[in-house]
């Protein structure tokens, strides 16, 4: 079997369960040496356990792969630094960072507490920044020393962030921030031989089990399970490989066997008066612009075009 990540050294955060577990196992199957990072918390971020990360490591060892468990909190800046050093000290370097750790504390905006807001933003957004900051520093130093990097950062956004989902202002804002973070970091880190991309995955996990659109019956043993979290991992493995060197600054929608590019904000219909507007004259102007622009995409990522009438 061709192993497209052979010799690569990778970190996967939030790798004890669900989508992250699938990433870690597939990267190992593809020849990477993997640091399996997970604090073993519940979906809401409470508690901790070393069990999930060690179970993934044991599974990887079971098919002859190389992996170690790591329990650092990626939202803690110093802890994130220790995580990056764990890969470097154990395996001799770092080629791939997959930022996947996350929690949920869903609540309608009018009922959301500051603790629920801060906890989610901290784990998702700060938990993406902190490991990336330490990894970027490592790759920058290598570049300045004359070493050549062929490195990858793969972040985890969400359709809740880039398209929007009711009851998830905290989670969605963090995930939209990760998409923007990805685009900007790609522009900054290219000079050091680092690509930065992101995923908006769709799968049945602990974090999505309450979503109506993901409650389809589990298929039989011989049927393709389009909602299995393991379906996201092949794209991560390819993005982690040397084959993906020309791809950076992109956000991918991926679910089952379906793969698409998420197209970001861009300027649509425009009008230029060439002078300062008076507020009273803007009503018909704005209404006309909105009528010419497509509506926002739905959670599927598809634009709900209105039906044409004769």
Beta bridge partners of 233: none
Q: Which residues are catalytic?
A: 158, 171, 175
CB burial of 228-262 (b: ≥16 within 10 Å; e: otherwise) equals: bbebbbbbbbebbbeebeeebbbbbbbbeeeeeeb
CB burial of 52-86 (b: ≥16 within 10 Å; e: otherwise) equals: bbbbbbebbeeeebebbbbbbbbbbeebbbebbeb
φ, ψ of residue 157 in degrees (nearest 5): -95, -155
What token pair was written down for 68?
A: 């170690």
Q: How far is CA 17 from the centre of its chain?
A: 15
Residues 102 and 42: beta-carbon distance below 8 Å:
no
Residues 169 and 305: beta-carbon distance below 8 Å:
no
């Amino acid at each position: 079997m061709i192993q497209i990540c052979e010799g690569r050294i990778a970190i996967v955060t939030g790798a004890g369960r669900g989508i992250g577990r699938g990433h870690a196992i597939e990267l190992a199957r593809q020849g990477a040496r993997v640091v399996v990072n997970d604090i073993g918390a519940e979906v809401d971020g409470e508690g901790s356990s070393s069990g999930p990360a060690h179970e993934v490591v044991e599974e990887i060892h079971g098919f002859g792969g190389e992996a170690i468990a790591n329990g650092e909190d990626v939202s803690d800046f110093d802890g994130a630094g220790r995580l990056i050093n764990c890969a470097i000290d154990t395996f001799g370097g770092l080629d791939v960072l997959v930022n996947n750790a996350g929690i949920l504390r869903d609540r309608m905006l009018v009922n959301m507490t500051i603790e629920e807001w801060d906890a989610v933003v901290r784990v998702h957004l700060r938990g993406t920044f902190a490991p990336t900051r330490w990894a970027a520093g490592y790759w920058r130093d290598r570049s300045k020393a004359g070493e050549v990097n062929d490195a990858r950062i793969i972040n985890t956004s969400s359709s809740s962030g880039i398209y929007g989902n009711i009851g998830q202002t905290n989670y969605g804002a963090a995930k939209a921030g990760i998409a923007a973070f990805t685009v900007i970091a790609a522009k900054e880190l290219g000079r050091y031989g680092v690509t930065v991309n992101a995923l908006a995955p769709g799968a049945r996990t602990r974090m999505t089990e309450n979503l109506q659109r993901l409650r389809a019956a589990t298929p039989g043993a011989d049927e393709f399970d389009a909602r299995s979290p393991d379906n996201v991992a092949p794209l991560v493995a390819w993005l982690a490989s040397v084959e993906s060197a020309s791809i950076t600054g992109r956000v991918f929608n991926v679910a089952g066997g379906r793969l698409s590019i998420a197209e970001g904000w861009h300027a649509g219909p425009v009008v230029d008066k060439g002078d300062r507007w008076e507020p009273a004259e803007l009503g018909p102007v704005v209404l006309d612009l909105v009528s010419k622009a497509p509506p926002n995409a739905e959670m599927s990522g598809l634009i709900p075009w209105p039906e044409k009438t004769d």
